Every structure is written in structure tokens, then in C-alpha cells.
């Protein structure tokens, strides 16, 4: 069974330390001050490699050394180290974002790409939600909604028309929230977590994750305007169907049902730039490959 030291070392490696740097740092947390020779003995590494690791730790502010007849090392307190790492990461992230924006070139791409991890799914969804300008539709279970709730609310707050088909009673300010009329049946049939999102007839994400949300079973992203518009149209139909069925179940009158449906009219998305670009050019049929005849 992994010890707290082993686990701490794993997390330090995830933060960019080498294995020997992580081992040297956690050793010094327990044994400071200590000479490089003592550290090497304590972590079972050669003296040369240990001294290189200590120099690297000192350069990144993880350890301090005492100059004297014999050099002793002391670990910087964990809170101080982690705060320093966080500030350095933020600085490099902001600079990288600035530079990478200059490098990136946007090209039209209607391919369908696989997403492999839950974090990849959620970050792609957040990017779409943060850049949405006109309409966002979601078909989403409660757990993924909890992950994306802040971005969904922010999109609605800045005037984006947002609607969600959900499976548990949910309230979101300025968004149209519709409980699936077969919510219990759907959740009983599907044990995993899903999030399906489309925005501005421009992008879509479809993802099914394991029940605990730690792995992706199937997930795709596409910037195909045609596919995004088709999915938005289909989801708008599902939203309308659930609105009608829920209203009938509640004993609503025809007038009340029409009023409910009228609220969904704002979700029409034929005015989005992506849809306009999709329909404006004349359709072209691809030429068949092979020998051409006159």
C-alpha cells in the first residue's frame, strides 16, 4: 500500500518534479537540515544524481542551502513552495496563452474528433459555452451540469439563449430548463453520465462517461455547422415534446401548452452566422472519383 510519502512524491512529479527531486524534497521535510551525502543515503540514490537534484530544487526555490565547511540543505515549507509554484504556473500560463493565440490559425474543419478524458470533455464544453453568442442547447445529466453550471449561467447572463433538457428538477437563472418527460426511465436505463451540447449551429459535443464520471466511454467534438445545426434542431424537438407532455400530465389547457411552447421560440437558431454560411453558398455535389467521361 502506498504511504503518504509515496503519494506526496507522485503529486510532486505531477507538478513537474523529477522522481529524485520529489524524493529529495520529502526526505528533507523529515530530516532538515541534511547534507547532500545524507540525502543520497536516505533516498537510495547516487551522490552525483542527488546533488544535481538538490541544485535543481534550490534553483526553483524548493530547498535552501547553508554555505559552510559542509553544505546543509533545508526544505522550504510546503505551503510556501506550493504558493510559489502556483504563481509561477499562472505567470507561464498567461504568457503561453498570449503567445499561442498569435500562433494559432483557425481553419474550417467539419471532421468529428474523439475526446478521451472527462477533463478534455469538460474543457471543450467550457470553451464552447464561453464563446457562445446566440444560442446554447444542452441535454445533460445532473453530475455533468454541476461541473458546467457556472459557465452555463454566465452564458445565460450575457444574453445567450440557453435551454437545457435535464433529468432532475433544476433551476437556472435566465435559462429555459425542461425536465425530460421520461427522466426516471432514462436514468434507470443509462447508468453513465452524459452531456450533449451544441451552440450557435457551429459546434457540438456528445459525451458518455462512466457512472462515477472518471472515464470516458464515448465522446466526440465537431465544428461541423451541418451536424451542429441538425443536432440543435433535434434537441429543440425533444425539448418541445417534453414541454407538451409535462404540461398535459399537469392538466394544462391548450392555451397554457401553447404559452409553454412559445417560450421555446426564442431558441430558433436560423439567424446564427454558422447557419447563414451553411445555407448561403449553393450546394455542390462531389464529383465521383475515377475516370471522367466527356
Find the CATH number of the domain harbouring 19.
Answer: 1.10.10.10
Give yes or no: residues 140 and 259 share one domain. Answer: yes
Find the CATH number of the domain harbouring 210.
Answer: 3.30.870.10
Q: Is the pLDDT of residue 294 over 80?
A: no
Give yes or no: residues 175 and 260 share one domain. Answer: yes
User: Of 80, 103, 135, which residue constitutes the final position of a domain?
Assistant: 80
Q: Is the pLDDT of residue 144 over 90?
A: yes
Classify 90 as helix, strand or coil. helix
Write out the E strands in 135-190: 135-140, 161-166, 176-179
| Domain that residue 31 falls in | 4-80
Give yes or no: residues 171 and 273 share one domain. Answer: yes
Give yes or no: residues 260 and 186 share one domain. Answer: yes
Classify 211 as helix, strand or coil. coil
* DSSP class of 65: E
Strand partners, 139: 165, 196
Q: Is the pLDDT of residue 245 over 60?
A: yes
pLDDT value of residue 272: 64
On whether residue 99 sits in a domain, the answer given is: no
**Range with the lowest mean pLDDT among 29-38, 98-107, 152-161?**
98-107
On whether residue 106 sits in a domain, the answer given is: no
Give yes or no: residues 58 and 184 share one domain. Answer: no
What is the number of domains present in the chain? 2
C-alpha cell at 9: 512524491
Residue 136 contacts residue 160 (beta carbons within 8 Å): yes
Residue 144 contacts residue 194 (beta carbons within 8 Å): yes
| Antiparallel, parallel or unpaired: β 135-140 and 161-166 | parallel
Convert the pLDDT of each residue in 169-180 to its tens digit. Answer: 999 989 999 999
On whether residue 289 sits in a domain, the answer given is: no
Give yes or no: residues 70 and 22 share one domain. Answer: yes
Give yes or no: residues 169 and 74 share one domain. Answer: no
When pLDDT is cut at 50, 70 and 90, the band that residue 293 belongs to is very low
On whether residue 207 sits in a domain, the answer given is: yes
Give yes or no: residues 170 and 275 share one domain. Answer: yes
On whether residue 86 sits in a domain, the answer given is: no
On whether residue 93 sits in a domain, the answer given is: no
Give yes or no: residues 23 and 136 share one domain. Answer: no
Give yes or no: residues 58 and 152 share one domain. Answer: no
pLDDT value of residue 1: 78
On whether residue 39 sits in a domain, the answer given is: yes
How much is the mean pLDDT over the chain? Answer: 87
Q: Is the pLDDT of residue 286 over 50?
A: no
Q: Is the pLDDT of residue 93 over 60?
A: yes
Phi, psi of 267, rounded to the nearest 5 degrees: -90, 0
Give yes or no: residues 71 and 152 share one domain. Answer: no
Phi, psi of 66, rounded to the nearest 5 degrees: -110, 120
Amino acid at each position: 500500500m502506498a504511504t503518504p510519502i509515496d503519494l506526496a512524491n507522485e503529486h510532486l512529479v505531477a507538478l513537474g518534479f523529477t522522481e529524485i527531486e520529489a524524493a529529495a524534497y520529502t526526505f528533507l521535510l523529515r530530516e532538515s537540515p541534511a547534507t547532500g551525502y545524507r540525502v543520497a543515503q536516505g533516498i537510495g540514490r547516487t551522490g552525483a544524481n542527488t546533488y544535481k537534484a538538490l541544485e535543481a530544487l534550490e534553483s526553483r526555490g524548493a530547498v535552501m542551502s547553508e554555505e559552510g565547511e559542509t553544505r546543509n540543505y533545508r526544505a522550504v515549507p510546503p505551503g510556501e513552495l506550493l504558493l510559489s509554484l502556483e504563481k509561477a504556473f499562472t505567470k507561464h500560463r498567461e504568457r503561453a496563452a498570449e503567445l499561442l493565440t498569435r500562433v494559432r490559425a483557425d481553419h474550417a474543419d467539419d471532421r468529428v474528433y474523439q475526446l478521451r478524458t472527462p477533463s478534455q470533455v469538460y474543457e471543450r464544453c467550457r470553451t464552447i459555452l464561453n464563446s457562445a453568442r446566440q444560442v446554447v442547447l444542452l441535454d445533460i445529466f445532473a453530475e455533468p451540469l454541476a461541473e458546467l453550471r457556472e459557465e452555463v449561467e454566465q452564458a445565460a447572463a450575457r444574453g445567450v439563449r440557453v435551454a437545457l433538457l435535464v433529468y432532475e428538477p433544476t433551476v437556472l437563472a435566465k435559462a429555459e430548463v425542461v425536465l425530460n418527460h421520461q427522466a426516471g426511465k432514462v436514468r434507470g436505463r443509462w447508468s453513465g453520465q452524459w452531456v450533449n451540447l451544441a451552440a450557435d449551429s457551429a459546434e457540438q459535443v456528445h459525451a458518455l462517461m462512466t457512472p462515477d464520471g472518471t472515464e470516458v466511454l464515448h465522446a466526440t467534438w465537431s465544428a461541423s455547422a451541418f451536424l451542429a445545426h441538425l443536432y440543435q434542431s433535434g434537441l429543440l424537438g425533444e425539448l418541445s415534446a417534453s414541454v407538451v407532455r409535462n404540461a398535459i400530465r399537469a392538466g394544462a389547457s391548450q392555451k397554457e401548452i401553447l404559452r409553454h411552447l412559445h417560450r421555446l421560440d426564442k431558441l430558433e437558431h436560423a439567424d446564427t452566422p454558422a447557419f447563414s454560411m451553411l445555407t448561403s453558398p449553393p450546394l455542390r455535389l462531389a464529383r465521383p472519383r475515377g475516370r471522367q467521361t466527356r
